[in-house]
Structure 1
Amino acid sequence: MTAVESPEQVQDELRRVAASDRLLVALDFDGTLSLLQDEPMQARMLPESRRAVEALLATPDTVVALVSGRSLHDLQEISEHTEDSEILLAGSHGVEYWYPGEGAVDPVDDDSEHALRDHLRESAIAELGDLEGIWVEPKTFGFGIHTRMASDEDAERAWQYADALVSQNAPHWRRRTGHNIVEYSFRHEGKDSAIASLRERVGATAVVFAGDDITDEDALAKLGPSDLGIRVGQGRTSARVRVMDTKELAAALSALAEMRASGRE
């Protein structure tokens, strides 16, 4: 399936899903609601993205969720999420959750995997910490190797080392790639399972999911005929719709909110 890009086709798809009885709008964060940053913890929602999210929250029978590979703690920080927020959170690719009125839900874990995580993370930091532009990101269930600001040579060296380290010590871990990052995790959940869990939780009759990266394709590929997948930017995709950048997505989400509000007046 080729994602539609023309403004008329995008509006048609938005209008179709806007008519759903109970709509879940699930959104990746980095590169989707915010611009990608050289320093990842500096990412913040664009003003137009925040206005679109707030408009969606104000419409009846509409639930908004952020679905990210970030740890729940980091997702809360970069999204400036507060305890009284109506926005649901799914962090660590759908292992960690936060629900309004309930707060964070602790996942069931194996303590031995946390010990292994700490050992491998510390090994990676010791080996790669002096390479310019390389950042070993601590994650709840593993770690990531960021290379956005590194030379091609150092990036390749970092990835080869991390691949060998995990392959030798934790071959059962999941490896994911994204924009200038390789991530390793002892949990195998993906954003597809996050969407499925959130859909059931809120009783959604349709889902809109938007994302910009390879890890988002897990969820985009599993959406049903009543749903709508939106790919932000270039790259092969299973999404029905493509928008070119974060600002174009914000405009689409604002249009969706308007359609949803007018349809329920």
Structure 2
Amino acid sequence: MSETRPRPIDEHLPRLRRELDLVSELLVCLDFDGTLAPIVDDPDEASLTPATEAAVESLASATNVSTAIVSGRRLADVRSRVDAVSTCAGNHGLELVRDGSRLVHPVARERTELVERTCRALETAVDPIAGCRVENKRLTGTVHVRSVPSAARPVVRRLAHDVVDRIGGGDLESSTGKRVIEFAPAISWGKGDAVSLLESVHPEGTFVVYVGDDVTDESAFRAVEPDGLGVRVGDDRPSAASCRVRSPSAVASLLGWLATVGDGLVGESGDRSTREIASKTE
């Protein structure tokens, strides 16, 4: 799917109303950092604002809506930050919990020791660089550079890619996101696959919305577009998402709309058809 500049969400609301009026269920998948929670210097301090927390709780309790979190954080980490949602995917979709069952990608499970060795080597390599932190997420790893002086960030990126290539030996791959360098098993699996997996256990024709802000969210946008709706958080740079909102605070407003107006639209056509058939047979 080609990338274009996403348009403001307001321009898509008429189409979204029409789509929701024709389906029986809505699945809303949400990234965490930069989407539900504002980006902060210390990732451990990231949290939902009261407005966003209320919107997520409202959406999670809506009658015709299923809600899921799809994050780059460890599964246990993201679940501890969003109480209202029970379906979560962590480590960019490599681990997932749904209906009380936890699934882990088998290749990722096999490479946890390799991730551990890479994290240790990276900690040694970047130790002299102020503000740099290596996070071992067991199935994947992240080098945080948000607090690193801007002049030193290219050095960190080069070191990180070199260490991952040297130790991973083709079994790990690295990528660059918003002020992070991430590395993971070199397998064809990401957030888009997790979203597709979640969609597959819902009724055929379920309308899927995915909201995210970073490079790793692009595979999820591609998974839902054009039949569903990808919503990019941020500016209008080219994306596989067809629309955008400006910030996490705007995400809260969107979720509130989906929980009230959207939930009211979903299933209405089916209900009307049932009532019409019943009236004709009375």
TM-score, normalising length from structure 2?
A: 0.84
Q: Which runs of 5+ in 1 are unaligned?
A: none
Count of matched residue pairs: 259
Alpha-carbon distance, 1:14 to partner: 3.4
C-alpha RMSD of matched pairs (Å): 2.0
Q: Deviations over 1:189-220 (max 9, x none)?
A: 21110110110123361100000111111111
2:16 to 14, 17, 28: 14
Which 4+ residue blocks in structure 1 deviate beyond 3 angstroms?
A: 109-112
Distance 2:88 2:24 in 1: 22
Q: How does 1:1-265 map to 2 (within 5 A)?
A: 1-5=4-8, 7=10, 9-19=11-21, 20-79=23-82, 81=83, 85-100=84-99, 102-109=100-107, 113-170=111-168, 171-186=170-185, 188=187, 189-203=189-203, 205-234=206-235, 235-263=237-265
Q: Deviations over 1:42-61 (max 9, x none)?
A: 11112222222222222222
Give 1:97's aligned amino acid.
L
Does the 8 Å contact 2:65/2:263 carry over to 1? no
Q: Deviations over 1:66-119 (max 9, x none)?
A: 00111112212333x3xxx5531011111101113x243344247762222221
Give secondary structure in 2 for the equivalent of 1:160.
helix
User: Residues 202 and 111 from structure 1, CA distance in 2 versus in 1: closer, same or farther, beyond 3 angstroms?
Assistant: closer
Does the 8 Å contact 1:18/1:256 carry over to 2? no
Distance 1:175 1:215 in 2: 12
Distance 1:110 1:194 in 2: 14
Q: Which runs of 5+ in 2 are unaligned?
A: 269-282
Does the 8 Å contact 1:41/1:78 carry over to 2? no
TM-score, normalising length from structure 1?
A: 0.89
User: Residues 147 and 11 from structure 1, CA distance in 2 versus in 1: closer, same or farther, beyond 3 angstroms?
Assistant: same
User: Residues 260 and 6 from structure 1, CA distance in 2 versus in 1: closer, same or farther, beyond 3 angstroms?
Assistant: closer
User: Residues 87 and 12 from structure 1, CA distance in 2 versus in 1: closer, same or farther, beyond 3 angstroms?
Assistant: farther
Does the 8 Å contact 1:63/1:87 carry over to 2? no
Query: Could you tell me the percent identity over the aligned residues?
Result: 28
| Richer in helix (by share) | 2
Structure 1 stretch displaced more, 10-19 or 124-133: 10-19
Does the 8 Å contact 2:64/2:263 carry over to 1? no
Structure 1 stretch displaced more, 129-138 or 25-34: 129-138
Does the 8 Å contact 1:35/1:43 carry over to 2? yes
Does the 8 Å contact 1:173/1:187 carry over to 2? yes
Distance 1:13 1:98 in 2: 32
Give 1:244's aligned amino acid.
R
Does the 8 Å contact 2:211/2:231 carry over to 1? yes
Give 1:222's aligned amino acid.
A
Give 1:31's aligned amino acid.
G
Distance 1:54 1:87 in 2: 11
